[in-house]
A = this chain, B = another copy of it.
Amino acid sequence: MTGTRITAVEVHDVRFPTAEVGDGSDALNRGDYSATYVQLRTEDGPIGAGLTFTNGRGNELTCAAVQALAPHVVGRTVEEIFADMVPFWRSLVVDPQLRWLGPDKGVLHMATGALVNAVWDLRARVAGVPMWKLLADMSAAELVSVIDFTYLDDVLTPEEAQELLEKSAAGAEERLAELKATGYPSYTTSVGWLGYPDEKVRALTHAAYDAGWRAVKMKVGGPLADDVRRAALIRSEIGPDALLMMDANQAWGVDQAIESMAALASASPYWIEEPTHPDDVLGHARIARAVAPIRVATGEVAANRVIFKQLLQAEAIGVCQVDACRVGGINEVLSILLMAAKFNVPVCPHSGGVGLCEYVQHLGIFDYLRVSTSLSGRMIEYVDHLHEHFVDPVRVVNGRYQVPTAPGYSVMMRPESIARFSFPDGPVWRERTRS
Give bound CA distance, A198 to B108, whole Å: 36
User: Copy number of this protein in the oligomer?
Assistant: 2
Contact among B28, B101, B303, B310 with A107 in the assembled complex (CB-CB below 8 Å): B101
Tell me if A30 counts as interface (CB < 8 A to partner B).
Answer: yes
- Give Cα distance in the complex from A109 to B56, angstroms: 17
Instruction: Name the 8 nearest CB pairs between A and B, nearest first.
Output: A106-B106, A55-B100, A154-B254, A56-B97, A57-B97, A107-B107, A30-B96, A151-B277
Interface check A418, CB cutoff 8 A: no
Bound state CA distance, A280 and B150, in angstroms? 12
Interface locus among A160-168, A200-208, A219-227, A281-289: A281-289
* A29 contacts partner chain B, Cβ-Cβ < 8 Å: yes
CA distance A28 to B142 in the complex (A): 27
Q: Is the CB of B279 within 8 A of A61?
A: no
Q: CB within 8 A of A153: which of B61, B62, B255, B310?
A: B255
Q: How far is the CA of A226 from the CA of B154 in the complex (A)?
A: 25
- A306 contacts which of B103, B255, B280, B301 (Cβ < 8 Å)? B280
Binding site for B on A (CB under 8 A): 19, 28-32, 54-58, 60-62, 64-65, 68, 94-110, 150-154, 250, 253-255, 276-283, 286, 301, 303-304, 306-307, 309-310, 313-314
Compute how far the CA of A407 lies from the CA of B194 in the bound complex, rounded to whole angstroms.
47
Q: How far is the CA of A97 from the CA of B283 in the complex (A)?
A: 25
Q: Least Cβ distance of A315 to chain B in Å?
A: 11
Q: 11 other contacts beyond A57-B98, A64-B64, A151-B253, with CB at 8 A cut-off?
A: A29-B100, A54-B101, A60-B64, A61-B61, A100-B301, A101-B107, A103-B301, A104-B277, A106-B108, A153-B255, A282-B314
Which of A94, A279, A310: most chain B CB closer than 10 A? A279
Q: Give Cα A301 to B104, complex, Å.
A: 11
